[in-house]
Amino acid sequence: MTKHKNLKPFPKGVSGNPKGRPKLPDLREAMAKVLAHEEGGVTALEATLNALRAKALDGDIRAAEVLLDRAFGKSVQVADITSGGEPIRVVPPIAWTDDTA
């Protein structure tokens, strides 16, 4: 095992990574560029939507769900917070009746 020489901790206030994390490409810009690509008079976005539509019409529930969610937003899911179908009783706050409290 070799000992590494000249290894010292960074001085206080000095970063070990002065340039910071490398910047990631803008995802929206990249997606817009890819989806705007046109081939045969049809954009990639249109081709994707047409493919999803065809799958949905063939009975692919997931394809229909994706199209509907993107077009109209996800549907609200209601959570039943009852006890056996009965509403949960809310306990009223404590009301003090004497002056000692």
What type of residue is 11? P
Residue-by-residue pLDDT tens, the chain, 101 positions = 567 777 777 788 887 788 888 888 899 999 999 999 999 999 999 999 999 999 999 999 999 999 999 999 988 877 766 677 777 777 777 777 776 65
* pLDDT value of position 101: 53
Distances (CA, A) of 13 to 5, 9, 10, 18: 23, 11, 8, 11
C-beta separation of 25 from 33 below 8 A = no
C-beta separation of 72 from 81 below 8 A = no
* pLDDT value of position 7: 78
